Amino acid sequence: MALAGVRVIELAGLAPAPFCGMILSDFGARVIRVDRTKVTMAMDAQARGKQSVALNLKSPQGVAVLKKLCLQSDIVLEPFRKGVMEKLGLGPEELLKENPRLIYARLTGYGQSGSYAKSAGHDINYLAMSGLLSMLGRSSEKPYAPLNLVADFAGGGLMCALGIVLALLERNESGQGQIIDASMVEGAAYVGSFMWKSRSLGLWNRPRGENMLDSGAPFYDTYQTSDGKHMAVGAIEPQFYDHLIKGLGLDAASLPAQMSISDWTELRRTFTQVFAQKTQAEWSRIFDGTDACVTPVLPLDEAGSHPHNRERGSFLKDAQGEVSPRPAPVLSRTPARPCLSRDPVVGEHTRSVLGEYGFDPDHIEQLLSAGVVECNEAKARL
């Protein structure tokens, strides 16, 4: 796999950093997640392929253990607010001095500088600060955050993974590590660059929810079907819009022009009435295989069984029978091979990892008895 042989130390975080760690693990990296001690259950729902070491960083011996792990690793991924790692004596200065090849990835909401750098926050806050949240929401409704997708994951974990891969690539030439300052505000905004750079095209001239791509246009929206499900319509170009009108059984001559914005309300009313006359399955049979850009809105537990997704194997089932998306993108020669066995128990691999990283058995026993580390191999076998 593309990241085979790459060693990652992921400090346990909430959602963005675990996603970044899962991406690296899916594509072949060895990801060791450092959990807190005295924690019964990891909140990492993206732990696929990771190992877990439970380590108390509030102890000097714990800090020394982490330093030794980072000395023999390629990446350290930390999910804390600015200054936390420095307070622990684990800042970039210390770790890069000991391991100049280390890639030190810092995934935060606001970045390592600026007045908000030490403030708590979550996806919605970062999305708000990026400028994008102001564009999200239907006309006459307040802005709403699309789950915690844009800042936590697209602009956070995924963007940080990109930074790590770029730094790995550069290190091949320079032999040097570096610090990655991954701010979710900036990552989200960067993902949304099109919104800034397409304003000259007049795509966003109208208030929120009245533009073509923000639910203003009737040919770019969702519609309820007679069985209470929905269809998604994305018939932007005239030639695709013609297929939409045909599939709906409407007469184009009797309708207002597609781009007559003042008639969009009437056009939406017409589409709403027509879509309500058939079930989602009936509309899918009408539109499948056409260029009308009309697709069923699939719930999570149906996406994997849709014929198209099933044919591609777009979703996988792990050893516990849990369905989730397969890694993307698909590389032809070195594709990801996600681990399908169960997620690690907190501290499951402490003893084995420390042994592999050069800690002698007596030292490991001393660390265990001092509570600096915890090992839960037995619990993992239950």
Ligand X SMILES: C[C@H](CCC[C@H](C)C(=O)SCCNC(=O)CCNC(=O)[C@H](O)C(C)(C)COP(=O)(O)OP(=O)(O)OC[C@H]1O[C@@H](n2cnc3c(N)ncnc32)[C@H](O)[C@@H]1OP(=O)(O)O)[C@H]1CC[C@H]2[C@@H]3[C@H](O)C[C@@H]4C[C@H](O)CC[C@]4(C)[C@H]3C[C@H](O)[C@]12C
Min CB(6)–ligand X separation in Å: 22
Residues composing the chain = 382
Question: Which one of the listed residues 122, 243, 306, 363 is annotated catalytic?
Answer: 122
Q: What are phi and psi of 8, to 5 degrees?
A: -120, 135
**Residues in binding contact with ligand X, number by CB under 6 A:** 26
Q: Given the complex with ligand X, which of 88 and 158 has the nearer CB atom?
A: 88
Min CB(125)–ligand X separation in Å: 8
Contact between 43 and ligand X by CB under 6 A: the answer reads: yes
Cβ atoms of residues 133 and 124 within 8 Å: yes
Question: Which one of the listed residues 44, 74, 123, 152 is annotated catalytic?
Answer: 152
Q: Given the complex with ligand X, which of 87 and 310 has the nearer CB atom?
A: 87
Min CB(61)–ligand X separation in Å: 12
Q: Given the complex with ligand X, which of 34 and 95 has the nearer CB atom?
A: 34
Q: How far apart are CA 18 and CA 158, in angstroms?
A: 10
> C-alpha angle 59/64/67, rounded to 5°?
130
Q: What are phi and psi of 90, to 5 degrees?
A: -120, 25
Contact between 10 and ligand X by CB under 6 A: the answer reads: no
Q: How far apart are CA 36 and CA 24, in angstroms?
A: 21
> C-alpha angle 163/169/170, rounded to 5°?
90
User: Which of the stretches 14-22, 165-173, 274-282, 300-308 binds ligand X when contact is defined by CB under 6 A?
Assistant: 14-22
How would you class 317 by CB atoms within 10 Å of its CB: exposed for 0-12, middle for 13-18, buried for 19 or more?
exposed
Contact between 79 and ligand X by CB under 6 A: the answer reads: yes
The yes-or-no answer on residue 122 being catalytic is yes
Candidate list 8, 9, 10, 13; residue touching ligand X; CB under 6 A: 13
How does strand 103-108 pair with strand 75-78? parallel
Binding letters toward ligand X, positions 119-138, x by CB under 6 A: -xxxx---------------
Residue 356 CB partners (closer than 8 Å, separation 6+): none
Question: Which residues have a catalytic role annotated?
Answer: 122, 152
Enumerate binding residues for ligand X (CB under 6 A).
11, 13-16, 34, 36, 43, 55-58, 79-81, 84, 87-88, 108-109, 120-123, 148, 152
